[in-house]
Chains A and B, each alone.
Chain A
């Protein structure tokens, strides 16, 4: 929608702020405010303290942060490998095979993550593959959940990639594997990093499936936030949430820097 008049532009911006501020900005600001307050009984918090942050960046909370980071990074990398591979393979399949793979990788998105959690729990609670009670079951569930997104973003990019590059490379004598490493993957790098960032962010915030699976020694941050607020330690929970938010944003920022350097057109 293009609005040219000055009054029109102001009105559109006004409506945007009216929708954006209460929906997105205020809740986040409230969390930030809560994370530094000693007491909040009126309309505004009273007293400023950093002790919640001290708690949120040490001891069990710090351990939970590392747990979350390790889980998210591992899940994203595996998802990128599996999902990206499948997406590239799908691009060279006929229509029917492509549709089948698209549907297969849609499943974890379509099914509620609680159900995915339960499914993973039931499937791996018994030999031969007994993962219940270990960190691996959490990482596995996260991988299952985020692979779908990796598949979808890589497959959208692979579909957009002009086949003329691949053909030019082949006509120059490049074997398919050489074309993949030297032409396709470099050209897909921006989408691959975008997919990695998306997977990472999703995994960092995953709660519902994690709740059903996490062992005591592998507690990701969202679980800690939930536990803290459940206990009534709202301010500690808020500080941990801000830490989670900041870490995720920092990693996404770093990823997007790689993306900018990797985009050519």
Chain B
């Protein structure tokens, strides 16, 4: 990895395109007409709960699942009918999958040897790849002698050694503990800066990983693409209820639009209604950390149902007319008693109005 644009001739150039890709097992659709383009050099996170089809989409790119319809393109080339070993990709999976009978250096050299890279160049490429992930001094070790985080670094070096234009990461940090995970996130972000032409498809169920790393996030649920946009777009102005609750765990309040405001369980709330007609049912989305305690504009009164202390913050659950509202507050000096009355408020500009059931289109 000596500089930008270093893709070897055998590897596919960057860019992934899904064209109406569906995957079905025994009539059970696990991926439903996915249309998605990952530009060269872009990090696309596929974010969703388990069973949402995100891993299936990644495996369709790798060639381990065959689409029942639709085409997959890598670097502009239709690879739908190519076997995995001819797709020229790099892949890293949750369990690392390092070959236990080979030393670290041989693991990293595997792809180069399998693709018949010129023998004389292999040691240098292996050293470069290990250098890139900070594992150069472990070349002679066996995988079993490494920690989980180290194994994952080697797995990344192995995937990058052939200099693929496309890197597939399938929950790469899930097997690591929280502290290591945040360290690896920083590492991955740095790697991406050093490899500006590589397209990365990053499958995760963790919104923090997606928000931190991705240029764009594709939110998946129930075999379908629900939403796609930059992290800021998805977080600040989600288009569907599913996105709002999965990314950032928003409060979703059922409201009725009136003239210049919305009605929520007897409360009149001032929010931007845009061009939504009066009388229409809608969902109001407010992030818990943008909800304040005490009187203010858009006040909601109710009773405290639960208080959770999370170190630097308190999470309050307040029941307002049968609806549970979450509020993340900076650590409180006096925590309200459960069952006590409480008033919450939020600023007009912090609320987003969503169409009802947009996730169930």
Complex: A175 Cα to B85 Cα, angstroms: 6
Chain A: number of interface residues, binned into ranges? 20 to 34
Q: For chain B residues 1-42, which have a beta carbon within 8 Å of chain A?
A: 10
* Interface contact B115-A164, CB-CB below 8 Å: no
A50 interface contact, C-beta 8 A: no
* Interface contact A173-B101, CB-CB below 8 Å: no
Complex: A126 Cα to B142 Cα, angstroms: 56
**In the assembled complex, which residues on chain A have CB atoms less than 8 Å from the CB atom of B84?**
167, 170-171
Complex: A264 Cα to B100 Cα, angstroms: 6
Binary per-residue interface labels of chain A (205-223) against chain B in the complex, 1 for a CB within 8 Å, 0 otherwise: 0000000000000000000
**In the assembled complex, which residues on chain A have CB atoms less than 8 Å from the CB atom of B168?**
171
* Interface contact B162-A164, CB-CB below 8 Å: no
Q: For chain A residues 172-190, which have a beta carbon within 8 Å of chain B?
A: 172-176, 178, 182-183, 186-187
CB-based A-B contact count at 8 angstroms: 76
**In the assembled complex, which residues on chain B have CB atoms less than 8 Å from the CB atom of A176?**
85
Q: How many residues of B contact A (CB 8 A)?
A: 30
Shortest CB–CB separation between residue B327 and chain A, in angstroms?
43
**Contacts known (A170-B83, A172-B111, A174-B110); A165 close to B162, Cβ less than 8 A:** no
**In the assembled complex, which residues on chain A have CB atoms less than 8 Å from the CB atom of B86?**
173
Complex: A171 Cα to B91 Cα, angstroms: 6
* Interface contact A182-B90, CB-CB below 8 Å: no
B64 interface contact, C-beta 8 A: yes
Query: Which of A164, A174, A175, A183 lies in contact with B95, CB distance below 8 A?
Result: A164
A168 interface contact, C-beta 8 A: yes
Residue of A nearest to B116 (CB): A173
**In the assembled complex, which residues on chain B have CB atoms less than 8 Å from the CB atom of A265?**
100, 144
A101 interface contact, C-beta 8 A: no
Where chain A touches its partner, the secondary structure class is helix
**In the assembled complex, which residues on chain A have CB atoms less than 8 Å from the CB atom of B142?**
264
Binary per-residue interface labels of chain A (145-173) against chain B in the complex, 1 for a CB within 8 Å, 0 otherwise: 00000000000000000101101111111
**In the assembled complex, which residues on chain B have CB atoms less than 8 Å from the CB atom of A167?**
62, 64, 84, 91, 93, 97
**In the assembled complex, which residues on chain B have CB atoms less than 8 Å from the CB atom of A171?**
62-63, 84-85, 87, 89-91, 159, 168
**In the assembled complex, which residues on chain A have CB atoms less than 8 Å from the CB atom of B114?**
169, 172-175, 178, 182
Q: For chain A residues 16-31, which have a beta carbon within 8 Å of chain B?
A: none
* Interface contact A173-B95, CB-CB below 8 Å: no
Shortest CB–CB separation between residue A183 and chain B, in angstroms?
6
Residue of A nearest to B94 (CB): A164
* Interface contact B100-A168, CB-CB below 8 Å: no
Shortest CB–CB separation between residue A37 and chain B, in angstroms?
50
**In the assembled complex, which residues on chain B have CB atoms less than 8 Å from the CB atom of A164?**
93, 95, 97
Shortest CB–CB separation between residue A110 and chain B, in angstroms?
33
Complex: A114 Cα to B74 Cα, angstroms: 61
**Contacts known (A164-B93, A264-B100, A265-B144); A169 close to B62, Cβ less than 8 A:** no
B99 interface contact, C-beta 8 A: yes
Complex: A178 Cα to B270 Cα, angstroms: 66
B158 interface contact, C-beta 8 A: yes
Residue of B nearest to A168 (CB): B97
* Interface contact B144-A264, CB-CB below 8 Å: yes
Complex: A168 Cα to B99 Cα, angstroms: 9
Shortest CB–CB separation between residue B31 and chain A, in angstroms?
18
* Interface contact A168-B85, CB-CB below 8 Å: no
**In the assembled complex, which residues on chain B have CB atoms less than 8 Å from the CB atom of A187?**
99-101
* Interface contact A168-B93, CB-CB below 8 Å: yes
B165 interface contact, C-beta 8 A: no
**In the assembled complex, which residues on chain B have CB atoms less than 8 Å from the CB atom of A162?**
95, 97
Shortest CB–CB separation between residue B169 and chain A, in angstroms?
12
Residue of B nearest to A189 (CB): B101
In the complex, given contacts A167-B62, A172-B114, A183-B99, what are 14 additional A-B residue pairs having Cβ atoms less than 8 angstroms apart? A164-B95, A168-B93, A168-B99, A168-B158, A171-B62, A171-B84, A171-B90, A172-B90, A172-B111, A173-B88, A173-B111, A186-B99, A264-B100, A264-B144
6 CB contacts below 8 A, A to B, read: A164-B95, A167-B91, A171-B85, A171-B159, A173-B111, A175-B114
Chain B residues within CB distance 8 Å of chain A: 10, 62-64, 83-91, 93, 95, 97-101, 110-111, 114-115, 142, 144, 158-159, 162, 168
